[in-house]
Amino acid sequence: MKRLLLLFFFTFSVCSAQNINFNEEHKDENKKVYTIQLFSYIDKNIVQEVFEKIPIEFKVHTNLYKIKGTIKGRCFQGSAISELKPYLEKLHAVGFKDAFIVKTTTLDMQNEIISNKKEKVVTKQSENENIKDTAQNTQQKDLLPSPKIQNTLSQSDKADILLKAQNSYLNGNENDAIMYYEMLFASDNENEKIKNNLCYLYGKQGAWSHAKDLIEAQNYQGKFIYAYAYGAVERNNPNFYYDLSPYILVDHSGRLMILAGYYFEKQNEIEKANYYYQMGYEKNPENVYNIFAYARSLDIKKNTQAVAIYKTILSKIATSHPMYSSIKKRVSELGG
C-alpha cells in the first residue's frame, strides 16, 4: 500500500499540473559554491584556442571569468565537492589533467563572469557616471565575450545521447545521466520531458540550486517542482523539507503536502506524516490520490474511519483503475 501511494501519486503528478500561488518573493542569496577550474591564462588567444578543444558535452557548461588579470575557464557548479568529483574525473580522462575544484560564491561568479551582457552594462554605467574615456576603454578591452555555443547536435546525435542518458540511469549512474540530459537540454531547452527528467534526478541528488531555475521558469506552477520533490522523497534526501518548505503549504493541489507526509513517514515521524496527509486531503479533497493518502494514514493509526474513506475512493474510480483492486482488497480485510 505504501508503494501504491508513491507510484500512483507520482504518475498523476507528472501527467498534470495544478497552480501554486505564492505571497512572497524568493530572492537568491550569496551562497558558497564549488566549481571546476579547467584553465587560467592571460592571453585571450590562448583562452580561445583551449576553449575550442573542450569536448561539446563539457563546453556547454563552461563559462569564462575575469579574475585578477587572468581569464579562467570554469564548468559545473555544486554545493559540495563530492557532487563535482565524477565530472572532475571525466575531465581528467579527456585531457584536462590540471583541472581542479575551487571554492567561490554565487555572487563572485555573477560579478566575475565574462559576457556580452556584462560588457554592455559596464559601458552604460561608464557613460552614466561620466567615467574617463581612457578608463572606460581599458575596462572594455579587458572583457572577452564568452564564446557562443552553437547547436551542433544532429537528430541522430540527440537520439544517441538520449539512449546514453536512459542507460546510465537504468545502470544506476545518475551523474552520467544528468550530464547527458544537460547536454540535451543545452541543445533543446524547450523539451519538457528532458527538463522533467532533470528535475527528478536533481531531486534525488538534492541539487535544488540546479533545479530551481527550471522550476522558477514555470513560476512554480508546473510539474517540475513535483518531479524534483518526488526524486528527493524517493532518495530520502535530508534537504527535502528545507528546500521545499516555502512551497509546500501554498501548493493548492495538495501534492507537495502528500509527498511531505510520505517523506516523514519514511523517517518514522508518523505524527508529522499524518499531519501533512490530512492537510493534503483538506487542501484538495476531490483528488483520489490525496484521499487515498489520507485514508492510508488513518488505516495506519487503526482509525475505523479509513474504511469509509476507502469506499469513497472506490465510488469515484472505475474498476479498471490501477488502485481499485488493492483498495477493494484492503476494505475486505478491514471487514468493510
Confidence of residue 317 (pLDDT cuts 50, 70, 90): very high
* Residue 140: pLDDT over 80: no
Judge if 333 and 263 occupy the same domain: yes
Q: Is residue 148 part of a domain?
A: no
Contact 21, 79 (CB under 8 A): no
Q: Is residue 317 part of a domain?
A: yes
Q: Looking at the 3D structure of the chain, how many domains does it have?
A: 3
Residues spanned by the domain of 75: 32-142
Rounded Cα–Cα distance for residues 194 and 199 (Å): 9
> Quick one: average pLDDT of 36-49?
89
pLDDT in tens, 47-89: 988 998 888 778 878 889 988 888 999 998 888 888 888 888 8
Q: What is the mean pLDDT of the chain?
A: 79
Least confident of 95-99, 113-117, 191-195, 242-246: 113-117
Q: Is residue 328 part of a domain?
A: yes
Whole-number pLDDT of residue 159: 87
Judge if 194 and 293 occupy the same domain: no
* Residue 128: pLDDT over 70: no
pLDDT in tens, 229-252: 999 999 998 889 988 988 898 888
Judge if 170 and 124 occupy the same domain: no
Q: Is residue 133 part of a domain?
A: yes
Judge if 102 and 188 occupy the same domain: no
Contact 88, 97 (CB under 8 A): no
Q: Is residue 227 part of a domain?
A: no
Place of cell 545521447: 161
CATH number for the domain including 127? 3.30.70.1070
Whole-number pLDDT of residue 305: 94
Judge if 38 and 136 occupy the same domain: yes
> Considering 94, 118, 142, which residue would you say is the last residue of a domain?
142
Judge if 159 and 256 occupy the same domain: no
Rounded Cα–Cα distance for residues 309 and 279 (Å): 15
Judge if 189 and 252 occupy the same domain: no
Whole-number pLDDT of residue 214: 85
Judge if 247 and 334 occupy the same domain: yes
Judge if 250 and 272 occupy the same domain: yes
The contacts of residue 86 (CB under 8 Å, 6+ apart) are 175, 176
> Quick one: average pLDDT of 222-231?
91
Judge if 171 and 138 occupy the same domain: no
Q: Is residue 263 part of a domain?
A: yes
CATH number for the domain including 10? 1.25.40
Whole-number pLDDT of residue 5: 54
For the CA atoms of the chain, what is the radius of gyration? Answer: 25
* Residue 15: pLDDT over 50: no
Q: Is residue 249 part of a domain?
A: yes
Q: Which set of grid coordinates corresponds to residue 277?
A: 496527509
Q: Is residue 264 part of a domain?
A: yes
pLDDT in tens, 238-291: 889 988 988 898 888 999 999 999 999 999 999 999 999 999 999 999 999 999
